[in-house]
Amino acid sequence: MSEPHPLHLRYFSDPLRQRTLAAGDQLLEQGEHNDRLYLLRSGRVEGTIMAGSERQRVPIMTVEAGNYLGVHSYFSRGASYCRLVALEPSELAWLDRNTQPVEPERFGSLADQFMPVIMAELAQRQRKVNHAYLERTRTQLRLMEAEKLSLLGQLAAGLAHELNNAIGVVTRNGSGLIDFLGDMLRQYYPREFRLFRQGLEAGQLSSSAEVRRDARRLEEQFRLAPEQAKLLARILNGEPPTRARVRDLLGVANYWQLGRDCHDMRLAVNHAAAIVRSVKQLGGADGERRHGVKVRDTLEQALALLQSSLRQVQVEPVLEGDPRLCANEAELVQVWANILKNALDALQATTDPKIWLHCRIHDEWIEVTLANNGPVIPPELQPRIFKPNVTTKRGGLSFGLGLGLAIAERVVTSYGGEISLVSEPGLTAFKVRLPREHGQDESDMCG
């Protein structure tokens, strides 16, 4: 047990200057004149002030046993700046204006002896002021960030509306133009039409590395110009070339390229539409939800949306059963697409990149896991990975503004679901849990 403080022995051991408070008893009122310096021998006392336009009591401190009360008002000969009330049974001792200094020739005046107490009180107040200033600054920064995000959401909604109109025109007119071109070729140029349709339906199946390798072989074997060799390598897609086949393709190869360009244009329009849906979601423009939406369909749509980017990645889907949700199909597609796009960005420098996609059904939940073998997400970023403007991409910009995962989390939580992250060497996995639907009529709309 520690020795009593010398000041306590000198000034707070007189039994005639001691007081007991029950829980709830008031020691001093805010603004009350005070002529005593109290030592709290046991118990706890809370200090509160009246604050705000509504004049509510706000706690500002809790004094524990062994500390002083009334330091400011006693030494300044002023009023108590707060109300002091016992939180539990408490014992106090005090000195007052009539108390004479003990051994002043040795220890100095009463003020000299209690100077450390006064300085400790001032230091404590300064710490409180600094803490309050820091908290106020943090609050202001949070409010500013919230205001910026709110403005961003409003701008996003307007931008999405304008872009959606433009994309709609490109989609309708582009589809009409492709159909018209296909009909004309089918009617007048059936041979060329077959190559056009091949490029339109499949696009370029070979990777860029495979095209370069096959093009070099075609150049050497058939003495073709580099651009001709590359185009034929794309069309042949690994098919062993013969002189007759090469001669046959040279005159009509541009029709395959035309079909491939139309195929890529469709992909680009779909991709732009997906971005607009993301921006709409950021702006709070939620779509209508209905019963009976098939999770498998939304996952397959997300994979189809990113098929050109997934060409270099081994995708292993494991989908159990046929789970359904009360949902908006486009919202779910966007959740999966955003997570997959994040994985694709992470896998760019990974050898033998892989994505695992698992869907499991539990009693009350549908659990979808999208995992990849990319690099570990830095530990300091993991707790903030679903916050807007947080990105693991170098330079901070790539596909977007660090909004994809924030949008995904917003959609998932709007369904009463959960999204979580596990990232360790060789495996980064996003797990999404959504409430399962039981026996609903698919035609019924839901909230």
Burial class for 188, CB neighbours closer than 10 Å (0-12, 13-18, 19+) = exposed
> What is the average pLDDT across 222-235?
92
pLDDT 10s digits, 295-320? 988 888 788 777 778 888 999 888 77
Q: Are 101 and 110 in contact (CB under 8 A)?
A: yes
Assess whether pLDDT exceeds 60 at residue 282: no
* Least confident range of 13-22, 131-140, 401-410: 401-410
Compare 258 and 406 and report the one with higher pLDDT: 258
CB atoms within 10 A of CB 331: 23
The band of 4, judged by pLDDT with boundaries at 50, 70 and 90, is low
Compare 429 and 309 and report the one with higher pLDDT: 429
The band of 443, judged by pLDDT with boundaries at 50, 70 and 90, is very low
Q: What is the pTM of this model?
A: 0.44
Compare 444 and 251 and report the one with higher pLDDT: 251
Q: Are 3 and 50 in contact (CB under 8 A)?
A: no
Average pLDDT, the chain: 84
* Least confident range of 203-217, 272-286, 412-426: 272-286
> What is the average pLDDT across 180-199?
93
Assess whether pLDDT exceeds 80 at residue 228: yes
Strands (DSSP E) along 87-246, which ranges? Answer: 90-96
State the pLDDT at residue 445: 53
Compare 404 and 66 and report the one with higher pLDDT: 66
Structure-token pair, residue 278:
């993301």
Assess whether pLDDT exceeds 50 at residue 407: yes
State the pLDDT at residue 46: 94
75 φ, ψ (degrees, to nearest 5): -80, -25
Assess whether pLDDT exceeds 50 at residue 221: yes
State the pLDDT at residue 309: 80
State the pLDDT at residue 56: 83
Assess whether pLDDT exceeds 60 at residue 97: yes
* Least confident range of 88-92, 137-141, 233-237, 443-447: 443-447
Which long-range contacts link 156-160 to residues 24+ away (Cβ below 8 Å)?
156/279, 156/280, 156/282, 156/283, 157/279, 157/280, 157/283, 157/284, 157/285, 158/283, 159/279, 160/276, 160/277, 160/279, 160/280, 160/283, 160/285
- Percent of the chain topping pLDDT 70: 87
Assess whether pLDDT exceeds 50 at residue 341: yes
State the pLDDT at residue 422: 93
> What is the average pLDDT across 215-243?
91
> Mapping DSSP to helix (H, G, I), strand (E, B) and coil, where does residue 157 land?
helix
Assess whether pLDDT exceeds 90 at residue 446: no
Residues 6+ apart with CB under 8 A from 66: 39, 40, 41
pLDDT 10s digits, 104-136? 888 888 888 888 888 887 788 788 778 878 888
Compare 210 and 152 and report the one with higher pLDDT: 210
Closest by CA to 198, choosing from 251, 260, 253, 244, is 260
Looking at the DSSP bridge assignments, the partners of residue 20 are 91
Q: Tell me the one-letter amino acid at 301.
A: Q
